[in-house]
């Protein structure tokens, strides 16, 4: 009889399990195989209802056994080795379909499967770290909304914390999988709120990294040249920081990551995690100088309470430091969208061309023309398409006409420089270490009904390329989560994680949700 401890035989509770808990379990003799089986059992129980994971990895148990063999041989392994994780669907994982939430790109929904021959760099890095990748998670069509996954070929994903409310998007499936403890942590990706929003909607920790810190080659793009970033969603700050250690850094597969050389912190992204991390810090507050859209009365009350908690941790808060700077006036919400500024997304045809070329010679679609033909019934750029609004931007037409030619993005880059000039000047003049805002301006809308999440930071930090860390800070009377977001200068992730860790340690707002089993 096998005497190896299993997750069940030692009474291991995988709900809200952290990397520290996983390390303790492994130290106690639990195997990665047993841990993986426990998560697979939980997925079988809860995923049919929440619809977070849409493609399972058939090699997950083999990968777990391989880690057990390496550990038994005495190999020194990192903190993510043997840890069950999930991957957002648009991130290429060799041998598994990348569907981008669209029925035309899923054989199960009657379309064609895009099966990449190689992992995206972020997936390759998670694999090299020894993660057990359980499967891929649900997204809306082309990840084109930051609020939900309601139009996915796989059906809607429910919010683990507030099932009747929007789950956040486009990384809805990753947030729900992490929030429901179907995995220890997961990978998300953002063009316009797709890490911030789902993490906040489900009371989780999310890191929106500095643009170009983490490679996004091999990820279905919306703005790969200008805005797209990959980052982790986790249940605690330390886990998110340790995952960023794995993801960040240069690769020749994504040349823009050369910008991050020399920018990663000595000792890694967990180096500044300290319960005193807010002591002596100066943080700017949300106000009309940043964005002239008010908080709801309840959001304002929750924000005021959070400010008291932050000052009790030793920080000094500065009211609306962007007042009178012209920062808010840089925003130009795109016609027909909810306070969303899509500038920079004009590059999508060219970025899609690069993505399709990378899939490999046997891919079902290898050009933008072939992609357009396969999806013609719902032309993404047509009058009713999910990206129809891009025709408002003059540069888009030339890029769409010839997606193989590197585009002229000078107007967008000038906008980024304008944002950064004001941002850095405000930080300098006020001696600020960062900003702390409510991530959303009001409570979550219902799952259905066509409303969108009202956030505070999405386009500003996406266009500027700035980092942000969002984390739980309570809940509305309705039960929907209330999160804060710490924002800072480019490459300041370690500082922001330090602030978030101190707040998390002082308050402990993350709570496991009550779940419903079955379909």
Which residues does the annotation mark as catalytic? 88, 170, 194
- Rounded to whole angstroms, the Cα distance separating 505 from 237 reads 10
Query: Which residues have C-beta within 8 Å of that of residue 309, sequence separation ≥ 6?
Result: 503, 506, 507
Residue 98 to residues 91, 146, 279, 364, 499, Cα–Cα distance (Å): 7, 19, 45, 11, 36
Q: 419: helix, coil or strand?
A: helix
Is 168 in contact with 118 (CB distance < 8 Å)? no
Helix H or strand E segment including 357: helix 348-358
> Residue 86: how many CB atoms within 10 A of its CB?
30
Helices and strands: H and E segment counts in the chain: 14, 11
Q: Which residues pair with 446 in a beta bridge?
A: 165
Q: What share of the chain is helix, strand, coil (3-state, %, to 5)?
A: 35, 15, 50
> Which has the closest alpha carbon to 49: 370, 424, 516, 413?
516
- The alpha carbon dihedral of 436, 193, 231, 157 has a sign of positive
Q: Which residues pair with 231 in a beta bridge?
A: 188
Structure tokens at 212: 């170009």
């Amino acid at each position: 009889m096998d005497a190896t401890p299993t997750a069940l035989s030692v009474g291991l509770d995988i709900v809200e399990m952290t990397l520290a808990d996983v390390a303790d379990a492994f130290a106690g003799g639990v195997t990665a195989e047993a841990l993986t089986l426990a998560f697979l059992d939980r997925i079988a129980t809860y995923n049919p209802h929440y619809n977070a994971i849409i493609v399972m990895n058939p090699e997950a148990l083999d990968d777990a056994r391989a880690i057990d063999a390496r550990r038994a041989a005495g190999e020194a392994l990192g903190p993510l080795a043997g840890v069950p994780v999930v991957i957002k669907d648009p991130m290429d994982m060799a041998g598994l379909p990348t569907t981008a939430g669209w029925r035309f790109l899923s054989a199960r929904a009657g379309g064609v499967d895009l099966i990449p021959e190689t992992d995206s760099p972020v997936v390759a890095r998670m694999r090299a770290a020894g993660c057990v990748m359980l499967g891929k998670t649900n997204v809306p069509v082309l990840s084109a909304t930051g609020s939900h996954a309601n139009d996915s070929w796989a059906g809607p994903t429910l919010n683990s914390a507030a099932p009747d409310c929007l789950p956040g998007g486009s990384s809805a499936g990753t947030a729900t999988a992490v929030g429901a403890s179907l995995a220890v942590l997961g990978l998300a990706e953002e063009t316009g709120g797709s890490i911030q929003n789902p993490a906040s909607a489900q009371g989780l920790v999310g890191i929106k990294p500095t643009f170009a810190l983490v490679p996004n080659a091999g990820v279905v793009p919306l703005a790969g040249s200008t805005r797209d970033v990959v980052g982790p969603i986790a249940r605690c700050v330390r886990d998110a920081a340790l995952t960023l250690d794995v993801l960040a850094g240069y690769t020749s597969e994504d040349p823009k990551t050369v910008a991050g050389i020399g920018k990663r912190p000595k000792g890694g992204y967990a180096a500044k995690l300290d319960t005193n991390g807010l002591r002596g810090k100066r943080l700017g507050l949300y106000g009309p100088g940043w964005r002239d859209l008010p908080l709801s009365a309840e959001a304002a009350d929750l924000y005021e309470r959070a400010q008291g908690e932050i000052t009790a941790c030793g920080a000094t808060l500065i009211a609306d430091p962007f007042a009178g700077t012209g920062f808010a006036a840089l925003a130009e919400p795109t016609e027909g969208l909810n306070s969303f500024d899509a500038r920079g997304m004009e590059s999508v045809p060219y970025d899609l061309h690069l993505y399709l070329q990378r899939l490999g010679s046997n891919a079902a679609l290898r050009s933008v023309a072939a992609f357009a033909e396969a999806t013609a019934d719902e032309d993404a750029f047509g009058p009713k398409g999910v990206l129809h609004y891009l025709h408002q931007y003059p540069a888009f037409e030339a890029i769409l006409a010839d997606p193989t030619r590197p585009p002229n993005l000078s107007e967008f880059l000038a906008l980024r420089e304008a944002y950064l000039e004001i941002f850095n000047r405000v930080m300098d003049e006020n001696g600020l270490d960062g900003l702390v805002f409510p991530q959303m301006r009001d409570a979550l809308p219902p799952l259905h009904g066509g409303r969108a999440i009202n956030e505070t930071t999405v386009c500003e930090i996406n266009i500027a390329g700035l980092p942000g860390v969002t984390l739980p800070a309570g809940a509305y009377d309705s039960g929907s989560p209330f999160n804060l977001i710490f924002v800072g200068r480019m490459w300041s992730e370690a500082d922001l994680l330090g602030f978030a860790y101190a707040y998390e340690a002082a308050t402990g707002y993350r709570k496991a949700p009550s779940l419903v089993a079955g379909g």
